[in-house]
Amino acid sequence: KAGVTQTPRYLIKTRGQQVTLSCSPISGHRSVSWYQQTPGQGLQFLFEYFSETQRNKGNFPGRFSGRQFSNSRSEMNVSTLELGDSALYLCASSPTGDEQYFGPGTRLTVT
Amino acid sequence: QKEVEQNSGPLSVPEGAIASLNCTYSDRGSQSFFWYRQYSGKSPELIMFIYSNGDKEDGRFTAQLNKASQYVSLLIRDSQPSDSATYLCAVHRDTDKLIFGTGTRLQVFP
């Protein structure tokens, strides 16, 4: 099976802009989770979608949002970007939400 | 108290030795336990999972779980320089989110 894919892989945005990241899960996986990883904070959970419904949510401001489509593909959006949003954004898919398989990530740089 | 705790390291072991990585968790209702390996600049890769008390072996890797002590460990036998990475412990309960530790950096020197 093909692995989790994320697009784009690299992104440079300006403070105040918004960004949309995309994730295609492993075929058959219904759960998609998003994480932010920074050197200082480690891996932080953003949210999880299961069958198009947000099932869990982390402690991030409302500027971070996401959605899942009927084909399990997911997008996350960050509005009004801040310098501190610069990070590696990881998507992970799972058949049930249990063991998760990560994509390669999108590295976002906010200038 | 953090939900999942790991020593940040670095843990330095010579090539060929056994590397022992440890993780404790706070939620007694946790049911599934995972070890991920993350190379610098790469995404985490699932290497082991364990659900029941005791040991689970897969090649050079052994995961050990002790639910009474809320403790899970990963042993890497015959450590190789290519095993040098950060190892993340993760814990899961029901349909709740997967909780990650901050990781232990392992260095295997020739």
pLDDT digits (tens, 9 = 90+) for B66-108: 999 999 999 999 999 999 999 999 999 877 888 999 999 999 9
Nearest neighbour of B95 by CB, restricted to A55, A90, A100: A55
Predicted local confidence at residue A27, as pLDDT: 95
With 80 as the cut, is the pLDDT of residue B1 above it? no
Residues of B in contact with A33 (CB under 8 A): 97-98
Q: Which of B4, B23, B34, B43 best probes binding to A when mutated, by most A CB atoms within 10 angstroms?
A: B43
Neighbours of A94 (CB within 10 A): 22
Q: Are B49 and A99 in contact (CB under 8 A)?
A: yes
Q: Render pLDDT for B5-40 as a digit per residue (tens, 0 to 9).
A: 999 999 999 999 999 999 999 999 999 999 999 999
Exposed / middle / buried, residue A31 (Cβ in 10 Å: 0-12, 13-18, 19+)? buried
**Nearest-neighbour CA in chain B from A76: distance (Å):** 17
Residues of A in contact with B34 (CB under 8 A): 99-100
Higher pLDDT, A108 or B96: A108
Nearest neighbour of B43 by CB, restricted to A42, A90, A97: A90
Q: Render pLDDT for A36-94 as a digit per residue (tens, 0 to 9).
A: 999 888 899 999 999 999 999 999 999 999 999 999 999 999 999 999 999 999 999 99
Buried b / exposed e across B26-60, counting CB within 10 Å, b at 16+? eeeebebbbbbbbeeeebbebbbbbeeeeeeeeee
Q: Quick check: B97 and A100 CB within 8 A?
A: no
Nearest neighbour of A42 by CB, restricted to B45, B95, B103: B103
